[in-house]
């Protein structure tokens, strides 16, 4: 798992280096060339987002004793990603002096204030967009926590159900054992009763035999 994470790190480093270079070039361009480069950077940023998702999944699969180190690295990469996105948004509304003069032409003096105002308005819109994106990420994180909580709850319920089945089986075994003990007790009671009856019978027979011997001796002595 860690080897996959490190491979993603290498891809992340390569992509972010390319994006940083292109972001620095965007303000120096104009027209169709700038539009194409912006689209290219936007596509690469999407690739980085997908790469971050893969890294996040890999971190979750790493054993918990080693996970902390990778989580810190992932957090650092997320911070770098956020900075790249901010730089990209600023670069789209930024112009170098050469490009600005080319766009404004002879009306540079009168239109520069309008351009500054336009840039301020666009910066304000970008700030609002960033706030919305942060709120969206927080909602997504909250949803993820809710899903994980639901999964934990389902696991707990499954464990409780399993424990309940084990307890029920234990109760059934106890009932069966109790029934067997009751049957054994009745058998032992019957055997004890028969033993007592046999002893009484032996005692009676012994008494009869003894009485017979005494009577025989008595009549034999008397007859003499």
> Which pLDDT tens digit goes with each residue over 5-17?
888 888 888 999 9
Percent of the chain residues past pLDDT 70, beyond the cut = 83
CA atoms within 13 A on the CB side of 70: 23
Tokens at 2, concatenated: 């860690």
> Are 44 and 16 contacting, i.e. CB atoms less than 8 angstroms apart?
no
> Are 59 and 71 contacting, i.e. CB atoms less than 8 angstroms apart?
yes
Region 81-85 average pLDDT:
88
Q: Where is mean pLDDT largest: 112-116, 118-122, 153-157?
A: 153-157
Region 134-157 average pLDDT:
77
Percent of the chain residues past pLDDT 90, beyond the cut = 1
Q: Does position 171 have pLDDT exceeding 80, yes or no?
A: yes
Furthest-apart CA atoms within the chain: distance in Å: 174
Measured over the CA atoms of residue 208, residue 214, residue 215 and residue 216, the dihedral's sign is positive
Task: Of 85-89, 110-114, 134-138, 160-164, give the lowest mean pLDDT range.
Answer: 110-114
């Amino acid at each position: 798992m860690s080897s996959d994470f490190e491979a993603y790190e290498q891809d992340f480093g390569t992509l972010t280096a390319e994006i940083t270079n292109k972001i620095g070039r965007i303000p120096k361009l104009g027209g169709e060339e700038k539009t194409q480069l912006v689209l290219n950077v936007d596509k690469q940023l999407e690739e980085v987002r997908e790469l971050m998702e893969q890294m996040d999944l890999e971190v979750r699969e790493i054993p918990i004793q080693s996970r902390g180190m990778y989580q810190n690295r992932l957090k650092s990469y997320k911070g770098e990603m956020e900075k790249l996105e901010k730089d990209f948004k600023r670069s789209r509304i930024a112009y170098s002096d050469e490009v600005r003069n080319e766009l404004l032409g002879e009306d540079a003096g009168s239109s520069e204030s309008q351009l500054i105002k336009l840039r301020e308005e666009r910066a304000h819109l970008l700030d609002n967009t960033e706030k919305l994106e942060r709120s969206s990420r927080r909602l997504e994180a909250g949803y993820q926590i809710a899903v994980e909580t639901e999964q934990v709850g389902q696991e707990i319920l499954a464990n409780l159900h399993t424990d309940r089945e084990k307890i029920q089986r234990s109760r059934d075994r106890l009932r069966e054992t109790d029934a067997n003990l009751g049957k054994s007790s009745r058998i032992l009671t019957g055997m004890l009763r028969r033993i007592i009856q046999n002893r009484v019978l032996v005692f009676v027979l012994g008494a009869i035999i003894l009485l017979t011997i005494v009577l025989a001796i008595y009549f034999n002595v008397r007859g003499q």
